[in-house]
Structure 1
Amino acid sequence: MDRIAAMNAFVRVVEAGTFTKAAETLDMPNASLTRLIQKLEEDLKVRLLHRTTRSVTVTPEGAIYYERVVRLLAEFADIESSTTHARMKPSGRLRVDAATAIGALVLVPALDDFYRTYPDIGIELQVGNERTDLIAEGFDCAIRAGRVDEQFLVARQIGSFGFTTCATPAFLAAHGTPTSPDQLSALPTIGMIPSHAGYPPSFPFLYADRKDGLQLKHRLVVNDTNAYLAAGLASLGLIQAPTYSVRDAIAAGKLVPLLEDWPQPTIPVHVIYPPNRYLSAKVRVFIDWLVELFERDEQLRRR
């Protein structure tokens, strides 16, 4: 039995929660994965998992084994990926998940630079505002804005961004220009609700080191950043969007920044990945490239 393959399979089952999901991410038949785990338990002479028809739970012995194996696999990956050949010419397909705006406005415009340096790496980029299950769906990494609360994942902060409240010149000519956040309640506004959030949309401002969200009665609420920006550009109302997503429109005079003397919160951006995933050269160089990409951008660098 390939002990490394068996340990990796065991860790994947623990993190996926079922043999079926783990088998899908490992691209092997469910029966083969089951036999691999059974052989591992026979060799160790200990039961690692409790199995039912619907779920898998870890035994106390399995929990101890999991913690040690995760560290061992990480060290093994470090050894293999540190070879000269792997670092000089990383290759393969990389599956990446990213929020819509970050994917469309930050990653895609910069990928030509990445491909010039690493022409043998292919990227499958999924963009959207849903919280993808990296382990169950077999992604190598994801770029997430805001708090990272998934278990069993490594999170590395690569950047951050602020917000800008803005509107079109036509909208301001028709409704007036607000000079304080309190005046926004009298103006048409547009709300943005991420698909994973269940709270009312707000325009956050910082008052005397205290974060307050203005609970506004938006005339329109959307759950997609592209639609949000389009609504603002259509003069439907005031928007408060990530600064990096509106900077081109502001530079072109299509949007006017407002309330710049009123500080707004900063949101961290992380790259996250499973701790047991073989962190091959292609993943390492992509993460290093992401760090440099965000650091070069004044509006996205880590704060």
Structure 2
Amino acid sequence: MNSKIVKAHIALFAAASMWGLMSPVGKMAMNAGITSLSLTSMRMMGAALCFWIASFFAPKEKVSKRDLLLLFFAALLGIVFNQGMFIFGLSLTSPIDATIITTSLPIATLILGILFLKEPVIPMKIFGVIIGAVGALILILSNYNDIGISGNIWGDMLCLFAQISFACYLTFFKGLISRYHVFTLMKWMFTYASLCFIPFSFHDLSEMISMSFPVDVWLEVGYVVFFGTFFAYVLIMVGQKTLHATIVSMYNYMQPVVGTIVSVVIGIGTFGWVKGIASLLIFVGVYIVTQTKSRMSLRNVP
């Protein structure tokens, strides 16, 4: 295996681990008094600043007026609704549930691909969707019987809708994403997202400024901004430039693994046998989906 492939695998592993850690770390920050609105707003504004700075060291690209408008709608689906609903959901549910539900993204993307991109209806894909959907349903409904620190059905639903929103972004803006460098895309998308989100978070942000938080809370916020957002997006692009999309998607499974381990270790989450079965069904469903061929593969397009 050459060094370029090894580098891509290491980058994907690091990105998935960062996203997996973001749920328990973000939950700790919110438990300390950082509201979900404030955390989401700081994540968007911080990432926008980082990507604008990084863009000065990237290839210069001119974005057409039409694409700037498309990037606004891409920001709504890919960031505002996605991150907003996820953070709100995380504030209501357990980090274990939130990280497990993130594995439903490939399933949602598959369904949208069949509906809007005319991907072939392959039996194994349908089977994978059903298995994954059953797992997600069991996970959400299991919260009715949970006690104390465990999840919340509304929080789980918000986390699920966040994945559907991002799946819409991947489906409807696939052409736009392929035309520009990641720094060019992300600097505009996170800027638009910040402008859209500030009116809703301004009150929380203004109150937070007058409050005092320990250093460790700000370190947790910094992790969400720099590692859970900026560096993770950069690393995922390193992997995508070298490895097949199926291999890249497999690293999504690291998120619930990392999030679950950390949540249980630090005592802010629980994990019983019902959730174990649910998460296993999700993993199996997503694995089946990502192993089947796409329309392009069936046509033998290189």
Q: What TM-score do you get using the length of structure 1 for normalisation? A: 0.21
Greater RCO, CA 8 A, separation 6+? 2
Structure 1 or 2: larger helix share? 2
**Which structure: larger Rg?**
1
Q: What TM-score do you get using the length of structure 2 for normalisation? A: 0.21
